[in-house]
Amino acid sequence: MEKALQHVQMQAEVTGEGAPLVLIPGGLMGWLSWEPHARRLASMRKVIRVQLISVEYGLLNSKLPSDYSLKMESMALEATLNGLRLTAPADLAAWSYGAAITLDYALNHQDRVRTLTLIELLALWALGTQKPSGEEYESLLALCKNIHGDVSEAQLEQFVRAVGLCPPGKAPRELPQWQVWMLHRRSLLNTSAPFRHRDNPAAARLSVPGTAGERHRFSKVPAPDNQCARRAASSCAGRRDARRSCPAYRVYGSFSRTDGKVPGECTTVKRPLDNRDSLHRAYGCFFSGK
């Protein structure tokens, strides 16, 4: 299967000039969510905004391949960057499901990653046998088992609530984003992919100077059930290795406190992640190229 997947590429938009920055989106709205950030960043960086295969298929009302997986997206990301002749180490910033895809890519292509910024990382494999708990996780897990062929409005509502896109006390259909979400609802046929993905945290190592992990969106229940992002960060920290060219690894969450840190720098996003100013501050290093 992997030989066939090597030729699958993501849609990509390239704007601006300068040091390359690749933006990998989440699994619902795809690259649309990165659009305002790409416009601003393109004033001083070469910005590559990619579209997930699953989101592209959903917007075309096409059925996902029977062997669709997170690995397919990861290999498509590799093929896309190869097609753009982007072989030098680049800054990668990714969100949610896109963060899990990008982590898989980075683990297999360490020499092509300058910095790695993962926002609300969904890497359930990092927990091993210990899975998250709580209503949000259980709701999303149930949704994975029930989405087949199409996505209903009720299922879209369930997803929006499960991943925290709907403020407490609000109904998803009342929000201004609802119509855009409706247009993208078939993207959610990818929902089971991060649950099915497997990796070996002990064997998969990124050789970077330091890292910090923060609570994942599902971390609304007491520890130790909420360590998805933190364990992924820890397992990917690896040993210090001066030969590697990946000087920074950051895992961001949208919560104002953490349940623990692994050694290294930690920058905390304390505001909701849909707040554009907060995001710009969170990855301000991209503006300076550091």
- Torsion, Cα of 69, 137, 215, 52 (10° steps): 30
Phi/psi of residue 25, nearest 5 degrees: -90, 175
Determine contact, residues 204/128, Cβ cutoff 8 Å: no
- Indicate the residue among 190, 206, 237 that finishes a domain: 190
Q: Within this chain, do residues 168 and 206 fall inside the same structural domain, yes or no?
A: no
Q: Within this chain, do residues 179 and 224 fall inside the same structural domain, yes or no?
A: no
Q: Within this chain, do residues 68 and 142 fall inside the same structural domain, yes or no?
A: no
One digit per residue, the tens of pLDDT, for the chain of length 290 reads 444 455 789 999 999 999 999 999 999 999 998 998 888 889 889 999 999 999 999 999 999 998 999 999 999 999 999 999 998 889 899 888 998 899 889 888 888 888 888 887 777 777 667 677 678 888 888 888 888 888 999 999 999 988 888 888 899 999 999 999 999 999 999 988 888 888 765 544 443 333 333 322 222 222 222 344 444 444 444 323 323 333 344 555 432 222 222 222 223 332 333 333 334 333 444 433 34
Q: Within this chain, do residues 283 and 202 fall inside the same structural domain, yes or no?
A: yes
- Return the pLDDT at 199: 75
Q: Within this chain, do residues 49 and 175 fall inside the same structural domain, yes or no?
A: no
Determine contact, residues 46/18, Cβ cutoff 8 Å: yes
Q: Within this chain, do residues 117 and 13 fall inside the same structural domain, yes or no?
A: yes
- Return the pLDDT at 137: 80
Place of tokens 């349940």: 259
Q: Within this chain, do residues 70 and 204 fall inside the same structural domain, yes or no?
A: yes
Token pair listed for 8: 């699958």
- Return the pLDDT at 200: 65
Q: Which CATH number fits the domain that encloses residue 7?
A: 3.40.50
Token pair listed for 155: 């299922």
CB-based burial label for 32 (10 Å; 0-12, 13-18, 19+): middle
pTM of the complete model:
0.74
- Return the pLDDT at 167: 87
Which residues, other chains included, contact 287 with Cβ-Cβ below 8 Å and sequence gap of 6+? 41, 44, 45, 280
Q: Within this chain, do residues 118 and 180 fall inside the same structural domain, yes or no?
A: no
Give the type of residue at 171: A
Q: Within this chain, do residues 261 and 233 fall inside the same structural domain, yes or no?
A: yes
- Indicate the residue among 145, 173, 190 that finishes a domain: 190
Q: Within this chain, do residues 74 and 85 fall inside the same structural domain, yes or no?
A: yes
Report the alpha-carbon distance of residue 80 to residue 83 in Å, rounded: 5
Range of the domain at 140: 135-190
Q: Within this chain, do residues 118 and 81 fall inside the same structural domain, yes or no?
A: yes
Instruction: Report the number of distinct structural domains present in the chain.
Output: 2
Phi/psi of residue 269, nearest 5 degrees: -90, 110
Q: Within this chain, do residues 149 and 241 fall inside the same structural domain, yes or no?
A: no
- Return the pLDDT at 201: 58
